[in-house]
Amino acid sequence: MLVPRKKKQSIIKPKNIYLFIYMKQLLTICFSLLLTLNAIAQLKVSDNKRYLVTADKKPFFWLGDTAWELFHRLTREEADKYLKNRVDKGFTVIQAVALAELDGLHDPNPYGEIPLENDDPTKPREAYFQHVDYIINKAEELGLYVGLLPTWGDKVFKDRWGAGPEIFNVDNAKVYGKWIGNRYKNKKNIIWIMGGDRVPDDRAKAIWRSMAAGIEEGVGGTNKAVMTFHPQPNGVDEGGSSAYFHSDQWLDLNMLQTGHCRENNIWDRIQVVYNRTPVKPVLDGEPLYEDHPVCFNAKDLGTSSAYDIRKHAYLDVFAGAFGHTYGCHDVWQMYAPNRTPINGPHFPWYVALDLPGAGQMKYLRSLMESRPMLDRIPDQTLVKDAMGANDRVQATRGKDYLFVYSSQGKPVTVNMGKIAGKEVVAFWYNPKNGESKDIGRFSNTGQQVFTPSNAGYGNDWVLVIDDSTKGYTKPLFSSKRFITY
Residue 402: CB atoms within 10 A of its CB come to 25
**CA distance linking residue 316 with residue 297, whole number of Å:** 23
pLDDT band at 448 (very low <50, low <70, confident <90, very high): very high
**CA distance linking residue 189 with residue 137, whole number of Å:** 9
Q: Are residues 280 and 384 in the same domain?
A: no
Q: Which of 316, 349, 369 is the last residue of a domain?
A: 369
Contacts with 201 (C-beta within 8 Å, 6 or more apart), sequence order: 157
Contact 180, 224 (CB under 8 A): no
Q: Are residues 117 and 249 in the same domain?
A: yes
Q: Are residues 203 and 317 in the same domain?
A: yes
pLDDT band at 33 (very low <50, low <70, confident <90, very high): very low
Q: Are residues 210 and 272 in the same domain?
A: yes
Is residue 485 a part of any domain in this protein? Answer: no
Side chain identity, residue 379: D
Segment 286-304 shows an average pLDDT of 97
Is residue 31 a part of any domain in this protein? Answer: no
CA-based max dimension of the chain: 102
Q: Are residues 283 and 423 in the same domain?
A: no
Alpha-carbon Rg for the chain, nearest whole angstrom, is: 25
- Would you call the peptide bond into 200 cis, given omega within 30 degrees of 0 as the criterion? no
Q: Are residues 259 and 350 in the same domain?
A: yes
Q: Are strands 461-467 and 423-429 parallel, antiparallel or unpaired?
A: antiparallel
Across all residues in the chain, what is the average pLDDT?
92
Q: Is the dihedral of CA 367, 280, 199, 67 positive or negative?
A: positive
Q: Residue 76's domain spans which residues?
A: 43-369
Q: Which of 347, 369, 391 is the last residue of a domain?
A: 369
CATH for 439? 2.60.40
Is residue 21 a part of any domain in this protein? Answer: no
CA-wise closest residue to 90 among 430, 363, 429, 355: 363
Is residue 453 a part of any domain in this protein? Answer: yes
Q: Are residues 308 and 407 in the same domain?
A: no
Segment 150-179 shows an average pLDDT of 95
CATH for 362? 3.20.20.80
Ordered DSSP codes for 387-403: --STT-EEEEE-SSEEE
pLDDT digits (tens, 9 = 90+) for 57-69: 999 999 999 999 9
Is residue 9 a part of any domain in this protein? Answer: no
> Would you state the pLDDT for residue 44?
97
**CA distance linking residue 109 with residue 74, whole number of Å:** 7
> Would you state the pLDDT for residue 480?
54
373-377 CB contacts, 8 Å cutoff, 24+ apart = 373/51, 373/59, 373/61, 373/398, 374/46, 374/48, 374/50, 374/51, 374/53, 374/59, 375/399, 377/50, 377/320
Q: Are residues 327 and 459 in the same domain?
A: no
Is residue 53 a part of any domain in this protein? Answer: yes
Q: Are residues 149 and 279 in the same domain?
A: yes
pLDDT digits (tens, 9 = 90+) for 314-367: 999 999 999 999 999 999 999 999 999 999 999 999 999 999 999 999 999 999
pLDDT band at 16 (very low <50, low <70, confident <90, very high): low
Is residue 6 a part of any domain in this protein? Answer: no
Report residue 313 CA to chain centroid gap: 12
What single DSSP character describes residue 167?
-
> Would you state the pLDDT for residue 10?
45
Q: Which of 341, 369, 397 is the last residue of a domain?
A: 369
Ordered DSSP codes for 40-70: PPPEEE-TTSSSEEETT--EE-EEEEE-TTH
Segment 47-65 shows an average pLDDT of 96
- Would you call the peptide bond into 165 cis, given omega within 30 degrees of 0 as the criterion? yes
Contact 262, 289 (CB under 8 A): no
Q: Are residues 176 and 300 in the same domain?
A: yes
Is residue 407 a part of any domain in this protein? Answer: yes
Q: Are residues 248 and 291 in the same domain?
A: yes
Q: Are residues 333 and 226 in the same domain?
A: yes
Bridge partners for 325 per DSSP: 64
Number of residues that this document lists for the chain: 485
> Would you state the pLDDT for residue 26?
52
Q: Is the pLDDT of residue 34 over 60?
A: no
Segment 25-53 shows an average pLDDT of 70
Domain count, the chain: 2
